[in-house]
Amino acid sequence: MESTNRGVTQADIDYFTSAGINVVHSNEQLGGTYNTDYFNKYHGASQTIVFPKCTSQVSTILSHCNNSHISVVTQGGNSGTAGGAMAQQHELLLSLRDMDRIRDLDVISGVLVAEAGCILETLDEHVRKFEYIVPVDLGAKKRCMIGGNVSTNAGGLRYLRYGSLHGNVLGLEVVLPDGQVLDSLFTLKKDASGYDVKQLFIGAEGTLGVVTAVSLALAPKPQSEQLVVLGMDDFVTIQRTFVLARQLLGEIVSAFEFWERRCNELVVQYEGYSSPLSATHEFHVLIETRGSLARHDWEKMDLFLARLRAGKLIGESRVVRDPAEMEQVWLFRSQMANAHMKSGCMHVYDFSLASKHQHELLRAVKAHLHRHKLYGCEQAAVRDVTFFGHVGDDNIHLQVIADEFGGAVEEAMEPWVYQWVGAHKGSVAAEHGLGAHKGQFLKYSKSPVLVDVMKALKRLLDPNDIMNPGKHVARA
């Protein structure tokens, strides 16, 4: 349903300016990153952006927009990949870039209160000085902002160890669409007093209000870190290795990543990195541990590797304990999406799926595209079909690299792949969000009653439909 809200006029701009709010307006479309999302797939058409400096300015903006029926799209670091932060037509862009204050850090309880515009890496560097880390970590950490992490329910690389933002976010400050400030910026861990309203905004992608500040339970900074890269011949071995790691590395496992051969080759080819292992393997696995006593962690790793070797589970292994070398391996891993992008037009899918179905999905996609003469035949439009993922949190990233966006490839893939994932009890969006496009596929993994409740919540909290209209569950 197209929004009936109106566009921004000169009078609106004058109103914001008179309230001391920084506005940038262009008669053409805005330049910079404001109209391009991270994977260069989604493009916006916005001409006006506001940069509030404080919560009360956000309140002034939303109150005005709600009264005047102007739609608002919230932007953080603009590292989203699902188009959720792109203005589709004449919406006002609201950037939280200038709300980047750390409001509080309790060094005894390990609770951080930060404004939405704080860059994730900046927060992590700050709290490390006090022996903590931010529990969420992802490839875009140099650019993404904590408000956007919360709004997209970012999962990231260490979900396995530190869990979900639904558990780690202790409180939020949110400006509701009518300009009211919902102060639920609590800093306490246990709380059973009323409905946990803040949870609705975690993953709402800016459709229910603007998250202006976040209270976050931090994790203790590890005293010891190491990682191991393993080469494997088949996917089943990854699962067996995961079970062994949970048993022998136990509480120190902090990440468990895999990627298949072609992903490795693309990073070498397009990013110029050396492969972390010397031989070629069907699958690479990266396991990281974080603990409090290096000697113990090293011994656990040695015991674990001895068991893997005794069981003939691995072809090659490389333990890395030098910090600079560890960083190199993580850099290699973090270049995966970029390398794919450079190799062609990346149709990217981000699914949750039970581990037993993950490899089956990859094979099904290849066979499906082959049937459509799009893959594995002469003049095929698809160059590569790859996947990599986070073991233990059910999340895989599937890439279909084609000559162009949309077209026959998208037609063959969608909704077919979402139906496949739904039929195998997966989720159509694991950590990238629904954004501009995927709401229409929500029905394949969520029941009609659940979708109806979502839509009712949206109507309740945003009756004028000003917040990111036409996206997310609005498309369901």
Among 45, 306, 354, 377, binds a copy of itself (CB under 8 A): 354
Sign of the torsion formed by the C-alpha atoms of 419, 420, 426 and 427: negative
As a three-state string, the secondary structure of 159-174 is HHHHCCHHHHEEEEEE
The backbone torsions φ and ψ at residue 355, rounded to the nearest 5 degrees and listed phi first, read: -50, -40
Asked if 476 touches a copy of itself (CB under 8 A), the answer is yes
Residue 363 CB partners (closer than 8 Å, separation 6+) = none
> Could you say which residues in the range 309-338 bind a copy of itself, by CB under 8 A?
none
Asked if 181 touches a copy of itself (CB under 8 A), the answer is yes
Among 140, 461, 466, 467, binds a copy of itself (CB under 8 A): 461
CB neighbour burial string for 279-311, b if at least 16 within 10 angstroms, e if fewer = eebebbbbbbbbbeeeeebbebbeebbeebeee
Residue closer to a copy of itself by CB (options 176, 266) is 176
- Within 13 Å of residue 14, how many CA atoms lie on the same side as its CB? 3
> Could you say which residues in the range 111-170 bind a copy of itself, by CB under 8 A?
131, 152-155, 159, 163-164, 166-168
Residue 422 CB partners (closer than 8 Å, separation 6+) = 428, 441, 443, 444, 445
Residue closer to a copy of itself by CB (options 182, 341) is 182
SS3 assignment, position 251: helix
Question: In the bound complex, what is the minimum distance in angstroms from residue 134's beta carbon to a copy of itself?
Answer: 16
> Could you say which residues in the range 184-203 bind a copy of itself, by CB under 8 A?
184, 186-197, 199-200, 202-203
Asked if 95 touches a copy of itself (CB under 8 A), the answer is no
Question: In the bound complex, what is the minimum distance in angstroms from residue 82's beta carbon to a copy of itself?
Answer: 9
Question: In the bound complex, what is the minimum distance in angstroms from residue 433's beta carbon to a copy of itself?
Answer: 5
Closest alpha carbon to 49 in 32, 63, 37: 32
Question: In the bound complex, what is the minimum distance in angstroms from residue 383's beta carbon to a copy of itself?
Answer: 28
Among 109, 269, 274, 280, binds a copy of itself (CB under 8 A): 109
Task: Indicate the DSSP class of residue 71.
Answer: -
Question: In the bound complex, what is the minimum distance in angstroms from residue 178's beta carbon to a copy of itself?
Answer: 10
> Could you say which residues in the range 70-89 bind a copy of itself, by CB under 8 A?
none
In order, the DSSP letters of 366-433 are: HHHHHHTTSSSSTT-SEEEEEEEEETTTTEEEEEEEESSSSHHHHHHHTTHHHHHHHHTT-BS-SSS-
Closest alpha carbon to 287 in 124, 163, 140, 160: 160
Asked if 1 touches a copy of itself (CB under 8 A), the answer is no
Question: In the bound complex, what is the minimum distance in angstroms from residue 296's beta carbon to a copy of itself?
Answer: 4
> Could you say which residues in the range 360-379 bind a copy of itself, by CB under 8 A?
none
Question: In the bound complex, what is the minimum distance in angstroms from residue 70's beta carbon to a copy of itself?
Answer: 22
Question: In the bound complex, what is the minimum distance in angstroms from residue 66's beta carbon to a copy of itself?
Answer: 15
Question: In the bound complex, what is the minimum distance in angstroms from residue 407's beta carbon to a copy of itself?
Answer: 25
SS3 assignment, position 98: coil
Residue closer to a copy of itself by CB (options 91, 393) is 393
Residue closer to a copy of itself by CB (options 152, 212) is 152
CB neighbour burial string for 118-133, b if at least 16 within 10 angstroms, e if fewer = bbbebbbebbeeeebb
Residue closer to a copy of itself by CB (options 21, 473) is 473
Taking contact as CB under 8 A, which single stretch among the options 113-121, 277-285, 348-356, 368-376 is the one that binds a copy of itself? 348-356
- Spatial distance between the Cα atoms of 323 and 87, rounded to a whole number of angstroms: 41
Question: In the bound complex, what is the minimum distance in angstroms from residue 119's beta carbon to a copy of itself?
Answer: 20
> Could you say which residues in the range 400-429 bind a copy of itself, by CB under 8 A?
425-429
Residue closer to a copy of itself by CB (options 100, 462) is 462
Task: With CB under 8 A as the rule, give the number of residues binding a copy of itself.
Answer: 96
Residue 106 CB partners (closer than 8 Å, separation 6+) = 112, 187
SS3 assignment, position 132: strand
Q: Residue 435 in contact with residue 466, Cβ under 8 Å?
A: no
SS3 assignment, position 230: strand
Question: In the bound complex, what is the minimum distance in angstroms from residue 303's beta carbon to a copy of itself?
Answer: 8
* Residues 271-310, mask of contacts with a copy of itself (x by CB under 8 A): -------------------xxxx--x--xx----------
Residue closer to a copy of itself by CB (options 201, 283) is 201
Taking contact as CB under 8 A, which single stretch among the options 5-13, 106-114, 307-315, 373-381 is the one that binds a copy of itself? 106-114
